[in-house]
Amino acid sequence: MKNVVLSQENVMLYLVLAIVSMGIAFRSVENLAFQNLMYLVQPTFQMPNAATVKNHILARCDNLRDKILMDRVSGSFASLTLDIWADRWKNAYLAVNAYYIDAKWRLRDALIGFEPLTKAHTGELLADILINLLKDFGIANHVKTITTDNASNNSRMTRALDDILRDLYASIDAPGHHLQAIVRLPCMSHVIQLALAQIFGALHISATNDVFKAVWEAETEEEELAVIKEKCNKGKFKGLERGIMIPWIITKVRPILQTLFIILK
């Protein structure tokens, strides 16, 4: 920041970055108190209105979007990961990451989509959103795998996407075009989460996130045992009979958990 030149353009840039990073409304720039603060900091700065801030952000996004995947070798394949997120207002979004190898044989990744979901999250809807993204980035026929969680709509999405691509490239018989089905891979973290839920469910135990974090960070069996005893005493393990189930968990379940934690690490 020491070398940043004070100018209308730079103030506008950092104003927009602040608005985005804090997640505040564009119309905040039209608040009189905020305008007075900006005038105090930089009297010559011409405060934009909400529409100008919005247009500036969209233009910047378009500029950054054009640079995504530029280092991908033409004709090379990519793998995708998908997940659905919700913001604090319960608005859902589909996040799409692409993974590929660049010309220097480095593994690269890029967020190519963060698309709003305003309808039911059906497999067909997700496939339509995804195919538009893949077309925009020119990789519709260069996707090998898609990693998702185990929700049934993701399986339907993969089948629907294959149908779309098959119809799209049915008349093309050239190297590099979509000639085989995309492989959907289950997310390993999600699989492990389900496995842990089954283990603790069978024991009629429910554990909070801080329990798993503490066990994860324990370096010895003695530390793990101390963590479990401590959490039991604080009621973090609900439904656990102290003094009876603890030795059983350590001797029977610990090797399973240890293996799962190693995989996660």
The tens digit of pLDDT for each residue in 105-133 reads 999 999 999 999 988 899 999 999 999 99
Span 78-186 CATH architecture: 2-Layer Sandwich (3.30)
Residues linked to residue 148 through DSSP beta bridges, in sequence order? 186
C-beta neighbour count of 162 within 10 angstroms: 16
The tens digit of pLDDT for each residue in 235-265 reads 555 554 444 444 445 555 556 666 655 555 5
**Is residue 142 within 8 Å of residue 125, measured between CB atoms?**
no
The residues spanned by each domain of the chain are 8-67, 78-186, 189-264
Residue reference for tokens 């690490």: 265
The tens digit of pLDDT for each residue in 62-74 reads 888 888 888 888 8
261 vs 265: CA distance, rounded Å:
6
